[in-house]
């Protein structure tokens, strides 16, 4: 096998980073614990990674090492029904936290099979890895990465009505003019161990009893649309979109249009014209945003519960997404029209 052609100029940097990794990180949890007295990075494994890529990525090395150390700790407790641990990886120089780590082993999704959830968070990014416990070993079945500024929370609940608990990551968009609470949904498959490819929804309200998702599209208050999707296996089918009828002068007529897609769709077709918005939409999160009946006194005004003002979009996102795991789908959310 031909050896990678490493850049000789990178060798000094390689030596510096490897030296730092030996001394930089230590564990700050229970100092009396024999299991996690000190956090160390597996340098030998990361050298293999460097040889394969021919490049030195210090962040990747450090984060992979932190995950591997978390797995080692979980392995020592793999026989337990439940195990959880939180700790920080800190700077040796000043003791400030570099990465927050959370390990949680348990029957999170089913009553018969265990999963291990490992969360790592640094100032810029949240990393979530889920492993299924198979034959006394952990096998990775899900990985999610989210910008920390946007991350709101993650939840475990059944969203499609199949009886299996699913994994949902809720986040709020950091740029843009309008309501943009997103949910990335990972459906638990029938094997009760693995997950389907994630689907992204914008400002959704999930109704597992109906197998339906309703939500508000991205747009200015009073000028956007609502959508309705139905679960179909690991994907969704588009049932309808709801919008206000506008005349040639751009004025609302008071009528409501049900269509087979949003107004930008090439196959857009009006299904029905109604005198009022169907009742089923009136209790979903963000309905006031759709109607435009919100008084925006600040940029980060919440359209969900009354007219509470917020000092930041993330505060608004936390407030908005908690009630019903609210969040909103982009056009590429894999719905089948």
Give 272-282 pLDDT, tens digit per residue.
Answer: 999 999 999 99
Q: Within 13 Å and on the Cβ side, how many CA atoms surround 211?
A: 14
Beta-carbon-side half-sphere exposure of residue 214 (alpha carbons within 13 Å): 17
Whole-Å CA distances, 151 to 232, 281, 304: 28, 27, 19
Beta strand segments in 148-192, E: 151-157, 166-172, 181-186
Lowest mean pLDDT among 22-31, 248-257, 259-268: 22-31
**Residues 228, 278 contacting (CB under 8 angstroms):** no
Q: Report d(CA 130, CA 195) in Å as an integer.
A: 10
Q: Report the alpha-carbon distance of residue 171 to residue 239 in Å, rounded.
A: 25
Q: What span, in angstroms and rounded, lies between the C-alpha atoms of 43 and 285? A: 48
Taking the C-alpha atoms of residue 303 and residue 295, their distance in angstroms, rounded to an integer, is: 9
- Calculate the average pLDDT of the chain: 78
**What pLDDT is recorded for position 64?**
87
Query: What are the residue ranges spanned by the domains of the chain?
Result: 157-337
Greater confidence, 299 or 83?
83
Confidence of residue 189 (pLDDT cuts 50, 70, 90): very high
**What's the CA gap between 88 and 66, in Å, rounded?**
10
Model confidence over 293-315: pLDDT tens digits?
Answer: 976 544 444 443 333 333 333 44
Distance CA 114, CA 192 (A): 9
3-state secondary structure of 255: strand
| Listed residue (140, 153, 145) closest to 125, CA to CA | 145
Q: How far apart are CA 275 and CA 158, in angstroms?
A: 34
Q: Which phi and psi (to 5°) does residue 184 adopt?
A: -100, 120
44-48, 82-86, 247-251, 312-316, range with the lowest pLDDT: 44-48
Dist CA 142 CA 264 (whole Å): 33
Within 10 angstroms of residue 70's Cβ, the number of other Cβ atoms is 23
User: Which is more confidently placed, 5 or 118?
Assistant: 118
Q: What is the mean pLDDT of residues 66-74?
A: 96
pLDDT at site 57: 52
Residues 6+ apart with CB under 8 A from 256: 242, 243, 244, 245, 273, 274, 275, 276, 277, 278
If you average pLDDT over residues 59-80, what whole number do you get?
A: 89
- Orientation of helix 43-53 relative to helix 58-76, angle to 10°: 140
Whether 199 shows a pLDDT value over 70: the answer reads yes
Distance between terminal CA atoms of the chain? 49
Distance CA 224, CA 262 (A): 10
CB 108 within 8 A of CB 82: no
Distance of CA 20 to the CA centre of its chain: 32
């Amino acid at each position: 096998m031909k050896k990678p052609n490493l850049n000789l100029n990178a060798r000094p940097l390689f030596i510096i980073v490897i030296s730092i990794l030996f001394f930089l990180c230590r564990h700050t949890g229970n100092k009396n614990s024999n299991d996690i007295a000190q956090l160390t990075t597996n340098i030998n494994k990361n050298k293999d990674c460097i040889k394969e890529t021919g490049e030195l990525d210090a962040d990747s090395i450090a984060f992979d090492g932190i995950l591997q150390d978390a797995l080692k700790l979980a392995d020592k407790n793999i026989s337990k029904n439940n195990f959880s641990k939180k700790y920080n990886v800190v700077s040796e120089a000043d003791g400030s936290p570099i990465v927050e780590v959370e390990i949680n082993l348990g029957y999170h999704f089913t009553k018969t099979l265990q999963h291990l959830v490992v969360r790592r968070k640094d100032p810029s990014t949240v990393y979530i890895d889920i492993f299924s416990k198979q034959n006394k070993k952990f096998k990775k079945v899900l990985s999610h990465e989210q910008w920390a500024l946007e991350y709101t929370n993650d939840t475990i609940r059944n969203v499609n009505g199949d009886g299996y608990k699913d994994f949902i990551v809720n986040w709020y968009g950091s740029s843009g003019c309008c309501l943009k609470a997103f949910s990335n949904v990972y459906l638990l498959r029938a094997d009760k161990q693995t997950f389907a490819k994630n689907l992204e929804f914008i400002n959704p309200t999930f109704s597992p009893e109906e197998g339906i998702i309703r939500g508000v599209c991205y747009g200015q208050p009073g000028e956007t649309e609502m959508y309705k999707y139905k679960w179909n296996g690991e994907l969704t089918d588009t049932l309808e979109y709801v919008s206000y009828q506008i005349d040639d002068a751009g004025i609302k007529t008071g009528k409501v249009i049900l269509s087979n897609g949003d107004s930008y769709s090439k196959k857009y077709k009006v299904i029905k014209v109604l005198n009022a918005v169907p009742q089923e939409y009136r209790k979903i999160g963000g309905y006031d945003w759709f109607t435009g009946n919100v008084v925006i006194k600040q940029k980060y005004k919440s359209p969900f519960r009354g007219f509470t003002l917020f000092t930041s979009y993330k505060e608004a996102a936390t407030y908005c997404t908690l009630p019903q795991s609210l969040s909103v789908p982009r056009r590429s959310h894999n719905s089948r029209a």
